[in-house]
Amino acid sequence: MPVKTVAEFVSAYREKDVSPEAFELENPYLLEVRLNGSVWAKSGAMVARTGQVKFTRQGLMEQGLGNLLKKAVSGEGMVLMKMEGQGRVYLADTGKKITLLRLDNETIFANGNDVLALETGVSNQITMMKRVAGMMSGGLFNVKLSGSGIVAITSHYDPLILKVSAATGPVFTDPNATVAWSGGLSPEIATDISFKTLMGRGSGESIQMKFEGEGWVVVQPYEETYMQASSGG
């Protein structure tokens, strides 16, 4: 890579306003939110800001008691902060790639750890897999995103979308590599001892997500380890 002058460096990486949307990608890993009101974002995701912006951790009234109980059981869940005011906020999550999706009175499901930001027209509700076996893996506690507005989701590297249909049969995924799926799908938990070494599990049954029906599922080429979400702002 050739050496840049300071002026060339500033010109190459300066902020670029090319979209009228409230959400704009400055690069594949950095999201700019033009704030004029309020937006929900992953707690701790802010890397810079300008203007008058107030940050408030998501409280009981916004989460609902059911969401709080599910977070307590799962040990991870999705911790959001409300950004209010006027200004610009820049968000990132450990260098993960960001994808912007526009929901038009639609529903999708996503791994809570992979939700970076959402407009207030999109509601969020934590969901759990049907079988108790799902409690063995944090990746099996997900979030239902419904309504109209823009959602920013993240993935390690480029995601892959797999089509799910009755004609091709079920699709099985590793929970820790599963990013999102279409709202019409209701995945179940499947276990298979024979896959424990292939799926990176050293002992016990491997836990997989089984998708059947009509829709799509997003996976990433990375098995994410889930930890208690940060409480930072």
Report if residue 56 sits inside a domain: yes
For the chain, the domain total comes to: 1
Report if residue 76 sits inside a domain: yes
Do residues 121 and 148 lie in contact, with contact meaning Cβ atoms separated by under 8 Å?
yes
Query: Residue 148 belongs to a domain with what CATH number?
Result: 3.60.160.10
Task: Note down the domain range covering 182.
Answer: 18-219
Report if residue 1 sits inside a domain: no
Q: What was the pLDDT predicted at 198?
A: 57
- For the chain, what is the largest distance between any 2 Cα atoms, rounded to a whole number of angstroms? 59
Report if residue 8 sits inside a domain: no
Which pLDDT tens digit goes with each residue over 140-169? Answer: 678 999 999 999 999 999 999 999 999 999
Q: What is the pTM of this model?
A: 0.84
Which pLDDT tens digit goes with each residue over 14-58? Answer: 998 888 899 999 999 999 999 999 999 999 999 999 999 999 987
